[in-house]
Structure 1
């Protein structure tokens, strides 16, 4: 198909349907670029992560810091005992909640299933128009496989629009795409350079040229289930109107490459196969994955699109859907990705996710009462535990491991004072039962997803948690130092 240059090859578009007067290609491109960067914060500035914390949050954190410092100065030991006790309660709460989600996710009806026959039941003329957005930047090594994966999608060509989102100055990837051949349904949409240079900004720009009734995103290295679009369209057609998004499962095609990819595969197996369906069953906000989520296009006009300043833009959008009273369904259809085999590359990726989770929690806690009234008390606690608790607990793990090591090596008196019996034994329960139950959950996830060969990764998963803690500390630091910086993940490293 023809390349889309500044909107000249595609008319209309989701975000441009209400633009009014007929525009030239250059005018449409300029408006699309402005909207892709500023659209959400102009529509609702409190929903944008362009500012890390708002004024009242800053004052609240300042007061908390003053109280903490005063406590450490005036009553050091009681303050440390209180902190260790509260932290232990958080650990216990996170453990119990994780086991509850797993139990719900194990139910047979926890995830929506559409078999091949039912996926093909809907005649081609009845299928909705679909737009697939594929953002890529400086990834010439995977572009050929990407186009092949897109070409394998089972959907009528006249109903399918695939936009390959490439930055205008990323000539190496543009050349690779043109050399590989764009096929029947794939088009290049050049994204004008502008800060922030993030995936959500590119997707927002593309919405102005999208023509589908349903919009989905695939990453450059993705290998989606060929019937996934038909399955998602079936689920969205059959479920209630308040279900506006379908999240497919993600897994890895190179799980056995090395120890890190095995840990990563086990991690994803637990999250997408059991915990996300458990969240769906509990009607809690679902932090979407960065790919293979399928949206009813009309929702973007109502709640805004992705936040270009949030580095986990889909997790943020998933929470925003829940905050507006909408629901997300989890679909039993798998997209295969490449697991990071390089530890440094993995830490870069995971630190961005942790930073984005904290960004998302801070953004949605700007109106805590409104969110609480919409999603309820239990979902509010679960949202906090997932989005804020996950990175914070990962950071605290490093501290508590060092405390445990120092106690084993020398038993300093200060640790005995900070952990009296009523704190020590619950903390010990967290250490033993928490680690054992998490490893058990990982075993179950690997067995049920056909990855039983990775049993050795389940046994050594505590080493993976050390990497998680390093990534969480890095992400928390970056939230303060460089909140909207998007650390690029290198792809094409699988053997």
Structure 2
């Protein structure tokens, strides 16, 4: 069982088996002591400084996203492979598809149908279902639905941590493919996606070791949450990630439909089994190693969370993993700067770290804003000194308007004018994000490597009810 912990063994400083290194813990302790001492001696000065830093960080994060969207619009930054070029490729390598699943008996049969639709020679396609040893129900359902000898079940022995990346590492250790990708149990990949990935990789050359396909949702219209989710994903994969590509910045990968050169993935230590957003972490490590990542113009449809509690579970895990990734890659700042450069450092802080931190702080800032407009307590005038007050006001007005505009842009790129009302109601979705951010922070302290299971197949219940 060496594969699941290979990264920790080879590069322990890059693994989240410990969230904070000894140096980081010492640094945070010193910082906390300084802040507490300042609160005793000069409390107003300390509060003003904290508010100023938060305001500057928010402004930088907003400007950064605007720059990404602008960069994405200056050219075509997704790799396109036509149907004719994809089908003309006859010298195809062995391709391994890893499918980690846990407690998914309801959707495993549908998964087999979707994988059977992949247009790739069965003799060169290896599909490995990664199932947990204690999940007898899913194992039985999978055995009953296996479509052919190119699909096999690999039972992952029980060990800690029990996470998706650990299962993927077990599968990678046995994979035969020159290329490897991951699909989740509910995914519906575009049939030519594997062929497109092969053609694109060969065009781009060996410096590119990963292509991230676009993710979308097949149940967008199920309810308001799924509509918000669909708009968010469209913005993410059609504006933000292409913007990162345009600016040659690291790409925080998605958890599915990322296509790798298997040799490079193994050389890098594969996925971190202790990081609950292993994909974003791997994207940063690829960049630090000097590899490039592209965005493939091919769509995989998956299920958008339609249940509020289920959505909070999933989103808090994502935010927790982003925070883990941010902290891990700041352990050795000098090495990180040397390997990523200033562009990568901006992405790490404003995109990877900034996304969950903004979600976490939003509720407190909204409450402060509401208090100001309702009562205008004098203490707020002292806290928000003039330059940062006006900067904060700009963030409130133009920052929120910018994020809503991104959703309106998604309405246009998706050609879904019926989602206009959903885009305008985005502030309600941000409130959900704040709850998820608070939960992520709590779990980061008390349950860092705990993988909170997301329930799939809820769309089936909805369709049956209809």
TM bucket by the smaller chain?
over 0.9
Q: 1:211 aligns with which of 157, 168, 176?
A: 176
Please give the alpha-carbon distance, in whole angstroms, between the structure 2 residues aligned to 1:325 and 1:165. Answer: 30
Q: Residues 249 and 344 of structure 2 are in contact (CA less than 8 Å); yes or no, is this contact kept in structure 1? A: yes
TM-score, length-scaled by structure 2: 0.97
Matched, 1:35 2:9: no
Helix, strand or coil for the counterpart of 1:208?
helix
Q: Distance in 2 between matches of 1:480 and 1:188?
A: 35
- Partners of 1:204 and 1:181 in 2: CA distance: 22
Is 1:155 aligned to 2:123, yes or no?
no
Give the Cα–Cα distance (whole angstroms) in 2 for the partners of residues 377 and 228 of structure 1: 34
2:82 aligned to 115, 119, 141, which one? Answer: 115
Q: Is 2:309 the counterpart of 1:344?
A: yes
Q: Which residue of 1 aligns with 2:390?
A: 425
Q: Which residues of structure 1 form unaligned runs of 5+?
A: 1-32
In the other structure, the counterpart of 1:399 is: 364
1:338-383 Cα offsets, whole Å, 9 max, x none, are 0000011000000000000011111111122112112211221222
Question: 1:199 maps to which residue?
Answer: 164
Equivalent residues of 2:146, 2:152 under 8 A apart: no
Displacement of 1:194 in angstroms is 1.0
Q: Bigger shift: 58-67 or 447-456?
A: 447-456
In the alignment, which residue of structure 2 is the partner of 1:60? Answer: 27
**Does the aligned pair in 2 maintain the 1:284–1:383 contact within 8 Å?**
no
Structure 2 partner of 1:171: 136
The C-alpha deviation readout for 1:253-301, integer Å capped at 9, x for no partner, is 1111111111110000000111001101111111100000000011133
| CA distance in 1 between partners of 2:416 and 2:71 (Å) | 21
Q: Which runs of 5+ in 2 are unaligned?
A: none
Matching residue within 62, 65, 68 for 1:98: 65
* TM-superposed deviation, 1:106: 2.1
Select the residue among 427, 438, 449 that pairs with 2:403.
Answer: 438
Cα offset for 1:184? 4.7
The CA distance in 1 between the partners of 2:327 and 2:45, in whole Å, is 29
- The answer to whether the 8 Å contact 2:116/2:147 transfers is no
Partner in structure 2 of residue 276 of structure 1: 241
1:381 and 1:60 map into 2 onto residues whose CA distance is 21
RMSD of aligned alpha carbons = 1.1
Q: Distance in 2 between matches of 1:203 and 1:182?
A: 21
- Return the offset for 1:238: 0.8
2:337 to 369, 372, 378: 372
Structure 2 partner of 1:143:
108
The CA deviation at 1:408 is: 2.2
Rounded Cα–Cα distance in structure 2 between residues aligned with 1:301 and 1:341? 36
* Deviations 1:52-93, CA, capped at 9 Å, x for gaps: 111111111111111111222111112111111111111111
3-state secondary structure, aligned to 1:376:
helix
CA displacement, residues 215-242 of structure 1 (integer Å, 9 cap, x when unaligned):
0000000000100001111111111311
Q: Out of 268, 275, 278, which is 1:310 matched to?
A: 275
Ranges of 4+ aligned residues in structure 1 off by more than 6 Å: none
1:231 aligns with one of 178, 196, 199: 196
- Equivalent position SS for 2:415: coil
Mapped to 2, the partners of 1:307 and 1:460 lie a distance apart of: 37
1:91-115 per-residue CA deviation (whole Å, 9 max, x = no partner) reads 1111111011011112341111111
Q: After superposition, what is the alpha-carbon deviation per residue over 1:427-457, rounded to whole angstroms, capped at 9, x for unaligned? A: 1110000011111111112211233321111
Instruction: Indicate if the aligned counterparts of 2:3 and 2:173 stay in contact, CA closer than 8 A.
Output: no
Q: Deviations over 1:439-491 (max 9, x none)?
A: 11111122112333211110000100000011011001100001000000000
